[in-house]
């Protein structure tokens, strides 16, 4: 037993311990996966790698590896509704990332695939959600999800609201906690450098508090119209950028 005046530190509580959040992946939404692949080839100059299907939400994806000095496990996800996989009838959940939203559908139809959202990785999703709840931010309940891969079942926990909304026009990220494996480990191919992720939103003060609550750093956030900008460096050194601007009304 330690004496009463011992300097031995007590274990940190969930309220005071660091969360250690990291940018996990960027989400490009497309009306169809074929349209997303074409967008990637025309915009970034590469064909995205195979991904998989998400039976729980009726979506499927293609992936592109990214790297960054701060986020070495980052990747780009191109996601679309898979018409052969309806949402899970037992949960009756809308699709994640606002993919059932009519305004989003119209924007994708008129403007093509969009950098609709982004996802942040945390080591303890429950703690991160509690931190945000203390700020009045309801990111949604924790849901366990999985998809089969060539290396076995990929498992993760993710925050998805019951209405499927992204919140703050997609500028506030979804939170994810991976299981024993991470999809970036198996992505072999041309790797783009993510040079910066720049965000603007009219409620930037509250969003910054949410970032600080989970120790999220190395992402630029300023006040302004709701927009997401990602800047890349292609394998051949060419600068590439992708932008999303939320529609008003």
CATH number (domain holding residue 121): 3.10.180.10
In a domain, residue 7? The reply is no
DSSP 154-220: EEEEEE--TT---SGGGTSPEEEEE-S--GGGG--S--EEEEEEEEE-TTHHHHHHHHHHTT--S-E
pLDDT at 148: 84
In a domain, residue 125? The reply is yes
Distance CA 54, CA 87 (A): 9
Where do the H-state alpha helices sit in the chain? 33-43, 102-111, 125-133, 204-213
Contact assessment for residue 183 and residue 216, using Cβ atoms and an 8 Å cutoff: no
- Which parts of 20-74 are beta strand (E)? 22-29, 49-54, 59-67
Regarding pTM above 0.85, the answer is: yes
| pLDDT classification of 95: cutoffs 50, 70, 90 | confident
In a domain, residue 75? The reply is yes
State the sign of the Cα–Cα–Cα–Cα dihedral 177, 108, 72, 229: negative
In a domain, residue 112? The reply is yes
In a domain, residue 16? The reply is no
In a domain, residue 1? The reply is no
DSSP 102: H
In a domain, residue 10? The reply is no
Distance CA 207, CA 235 (A): 33
| Span 62-91, pLDDT tens digits | 999 999 889 989 999 999 998 876 555 444
Range of the domain at 185: 22-245
What total of structural domains would you count in the chain? 1
In a domain, residue 13? The reply is no
């Amino acid at each position: 037993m330690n004496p009463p005046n011992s300097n031995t530190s007590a274990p940190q509580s969930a309220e005071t311990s660091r969360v250690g959040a990291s940018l996990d992946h960027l989400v490009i939404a497309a009306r169809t996966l074929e349209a997303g692949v074409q967008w990637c080839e025309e915009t970034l100059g590469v064909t995205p790698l195979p991904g998989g299907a998400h039976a729980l939400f009726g979506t499927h994806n293609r992936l592109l590896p990214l790297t960054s000095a701060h986020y070495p496990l980052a990747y780009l996800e191109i996601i679309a509704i898979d018409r052969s996989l309806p949402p899970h009838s037992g949960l009756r959940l809308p699709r994640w990332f606002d993919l059932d939203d009519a305004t989003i559908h119209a924007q994708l139809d008129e403007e093509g695939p969009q950098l609709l959202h982004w996802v942040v990785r945390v080591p303890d999703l429950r703690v991160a959600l509690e931190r945000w709840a203390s700020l009045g931010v309801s990111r949604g309940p924790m849901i366990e999800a999985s998809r089969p891969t060539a290396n076995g079942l990929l498992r993760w926990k993710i925050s998805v609201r019951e209405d499927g909304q992204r919140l703050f026009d997609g500028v506030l990220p979804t939170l994810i906690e991976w299981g024993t494996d991470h999809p970036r480990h198996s992505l072999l191919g041309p790797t783009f450098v993510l040079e910066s992720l720049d965000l603007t939103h009219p409620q930037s003060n509250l969003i910054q508090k949410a970032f600080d609550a989970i120790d999220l750093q190395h992402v630029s956030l300023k006040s302004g119209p709701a927009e997401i900008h990602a800047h890349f460096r292609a394998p051949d050194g060419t600068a590439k950028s992708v932008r999303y601007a939320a529609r008003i009304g």
